[in-house]
Amino acid sequence: MDFDLSDVINILKQRIVLLLSIIIPSVFITGWISFAILPPQYEAVTTLLVQTQNPSTQINYNDLITNEKLIATYGEIIKSKRIAREVIDKLNLKVTEDELLKKVTASGVKESLVTEIKVKYTNQAKAAAIANGFADSFQKNLPLIMKVENVSILDQAIVNQNSKPVSPNPYMNMFIVFLLALNISIVISILLEVIDKTIKTEESVEEMLGLPVLGTIPKGPSKKLEIRLRG
């Protein structure tokens, strides 16, 4: 069965109750979960500067490749269990190394020698403390691990009382669920129309039988028959 746009619109009009019964509860539940249940997540960022090994003002292509690999290596060291364990012990956190590392990202800033340590946590002050803790621990352990001292802390994470949570985003979540629910309800409506074999219009009769419709019986008001028993 082929459907054009007008057919789809008519199907959706006929099944508007189904659409609303899927969309409205889905969006409402998503909003309730986002506002009332999911804890807010704050983000703190500490930046590190990786000093080039070549003191010359001219840096060639090989130097750039070397620095990129070095920054990538530093990112892996930052996210190591060795560093995480020191941060946990220092801040007396009640989490495992793996649980803490899931909240931490370390990556180089594009086309620079700067590495960012980002931490997402439910408490803003603790997020900043963890980000700074990773930076301090990494800077302290780097000479022991790679025998180099070419990293300095550029900016420490600070606590800003005006900061807003980076997640969850209730309105974005609700919008995404609205689109998903809309698409799902449209698909369900079309599937129900496809499997529905009842004849609803004159055009359907002509299409199925290949015969013209000579007349129609108007639909009148239903009347109830009352039967009284005498005895």
Q: What is the CATH number of the domain that holds 63?
A: 3.30.70.1130
Give yes or no: residues 185 and 104 share one domain.
Answer: no
Give yes or no: residues 119 and 24 share one domain.
Answer: no
d(CA 188, CA 194): 10
pLDDT at 70: 86
Give yes or no: residues 134 and 179 share one domain.
Answer: no
Asked if residue 227 is part of any domain, the answer here is no
Look up the domain containing 187 and give its range. Answer: 5-35+168-209
Number of domains in the chain: 2
pLDDT at 1: 56
Asked if residue 163 is part of any domain, the answer here is no
Give yes or no: residues 52 and 138 share one domain.
Answer: yes
pLDDT at 97: 95
d(CA 147, CA 120): 31
| Whether residue 143 has a cis bond before it, omega within 30° of 0 | no
First to last CA, the chain: 58
Provide the residue-wise pLDDT of the chain in tens; the chain has 231 residues.
566 788 888 888 988 999 999 999 999 999 999 999 999 999 999 999 987 655 554 555 566 567 788 888 999 999 999 999 999 999 999 999 999 999 999 999 887 889 999 999 999 999 999 999 999 999 999 999 988 888 899 999 999 888 888 999 999 999 999 999 999 999 999 898 888 766 666 666 666 666 676 666 666 555 554 545 444
Give yes or no: residues 56 and 103 share one domain.
Answer: yes
Asked if residue 202 is part of any domain, the answer here is yes
Secondary structure element (H or E) that encloses residue 93, with its range: none
Asked if residue 224 is part of any domain, the answer here is no
Neighbouring residues of 29: CB distance < 8 A, sequence distance ≥ 6: none
- Residue 48 in 3-state DSSP? strand
- Within 10 angstroms of residue 172's Cβ, the number of other Cβ atoms is 11
Give yes or no: residues 12 and 61 share one domain.
Answer: no
Give yes or no: residues 76 and 109 share one domain.
Answer: yes
Closest CA relative to residue 119, chosen from 109, 111, 107: 107
Give yes or no: residues 73 and 111 share one domain.
Answer: yes
Angle at 110 between CA 104 and CA 116, to 5 degrees: 25
Give yes or no: residues 89 and 174 share one domain.
Answer: no
Six-digit token string for 87: 């941060």
pLDDT at 225: 47
d(CA 79, CA 195): 54
Task: Characterize the bridge pairing of strands 114-121 and 42-50.
Answer: antiparallel
Secondary structure element (H or E) that encloses residue 70, with its range: helix 61-78
pLDDT at 132: 97
pLDDT at 78: 95
pLDDT at 77: 95
Neighbouring residues of 116: CB distance < 8 A, sequence distance ≥ 6: 45, 46, 47, 48, 105, 106, 107, 108, 109
Asked if residue 217 is part of any domain, the answer here is no
